[in-house]
């Protein structure tokens, strides 16, 4: 690498190191074990995981789990983008080393979507309708409550509608990614050999099934 490149890289590393130390100092002073915010966020981390343990449909564990992991990763990416560009921030955290909220990224948001997704599957309901309802709740009721109690801050041009678009993006992409892998799984596990004429036809209509807004009745 060129000397100028190394210099820039070292400068970035030093800034990250300084920011990390400042974050830990801030957490120890304002967001540690002696604050009610810490224990509230810890409860939001633990209780959803306990609920998932009791209410998860074990027969669909891998299916629901894969969907939930997709929600977690996508929401984490969006949250990180908002944090690194100073569009939003969490003044209180359970763990100071992460730039985003461990409580929301790991437990509360993924579990909320997982239980909703499981319910739509088991009850044969329209996922897109109810997922949109959950996104509206999180964006216009849950997040304003966090703002009111100083647990979430927005900056610059960000408003609750932008948060809604973020949640909706997570809901849609998680469903579509899960649909893709379910399709691959069903294709591989097909017990009967595929008809040479039928197979291309099924692939031709794959996208229409992937983005279908209604689940066929059983």
Mind listing the pLDDT tens digit for each residue in 126-156?
999 999 999 999 999 999 999 999 999 999 9
Distance from C-alpha of 130 to C-alpha of 37, rounded to nearest angstrom? 30
- The reply to whether 127 and 181 lie within a common domain is yes
Looking at the fold, whether 136 and 206 belong to one and the same domain comes out as: yes
What are 59-85's pLDDT values in tens digits? Answer: 999 999 999 999 999 999 999 999 889
Cα–Cα distance measured from residue 139 to residue 52, given in angstroms and rounded to the nearest whole number: 22
pLDDT for 217: 44
Chain-wide mean pLDDT for the chain?
89
Within-domain flag for 129: yes
Q: How far apart are CA 218 and CA 216, in angstroms?
A: 6
List the domain range (segments joined by +) for residue 134.
36-210
Span 87-111, average pLDDT:
90
Q: Tell me the pTM.
A: 0.84
Q: Are residues 121 and 179 in the same domain?
A: yes
The total number of structural domains in the chain stands at 2
User: With bands split at pLDDT 50, 70 and 90, how would you rate the model's confidence at 89?
Assistant: very high
Contacts with 19 (C-beta within 8 Å, 6 or more apart), sequence order: none
Report if residue 216 sits inside a domain: no
Look at residue 135 in the predicted model and tell me its pLDDT. Answer: 97
The model's confidence at residue 208, banded by pLDDT at 50, 70 and 90, is low
| Whether 40 and 25 share a structural domain | no
Neighbour tally for 196: CB within 10 Å: 7
Residues 6 and 53 occupy one common structural domain: no
Residue 168 falls inside a structural domain = yes
Residue 140 lies in a domain: yes
Q: Where are the alpha helices (DSSP H) in 123-159?
A: 127-137, 143-148
């Amino acid at each position: 690498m060129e000397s100028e490149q190394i210099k820039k890289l070292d400068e970035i590393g030093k800034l990250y190191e300084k920011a990390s130390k400042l974050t830990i100092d801030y957490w120890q002073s304002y967001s540690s074990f002696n604050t009610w915010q810490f224990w509230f966020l810890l409860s939001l981390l633990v209780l959803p995981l306990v609920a998932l343990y009791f209410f998860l449909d074990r027969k669909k564990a891998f299916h629901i789990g894969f969907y939930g992991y997709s929600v977690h990763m996508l929401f984490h990416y969006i949250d990180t983008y908002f944090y690194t560009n100073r569009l939003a921030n969490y003044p209180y955290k359970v763990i100071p080393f992460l730039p985003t909220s461990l409580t929301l990224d790991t437990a509360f948001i993924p579990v909320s979507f997982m239980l909703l997704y499981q319910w739509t599957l088991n009850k044969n309901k329209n996922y897109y309708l109810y997922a949109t309802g959950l996104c509206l709740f999180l964006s216009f009721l849950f997040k304003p409550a966090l703002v009111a109690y100083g647990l979430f801050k927005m900056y610059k041009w960000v408003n609750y509608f932008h948060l809604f678009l973020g949640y909706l993006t997570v809901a849609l992409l998680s469903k579509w990614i899960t649909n893709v892998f379910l399709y691959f799984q069903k294709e591989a596990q097909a017990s009967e050999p595929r008809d040479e004429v039928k197979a291309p036809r099924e692939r031709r209509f794959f996208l229409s099934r992937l983005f279908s807004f209604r689940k066929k009745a059983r």
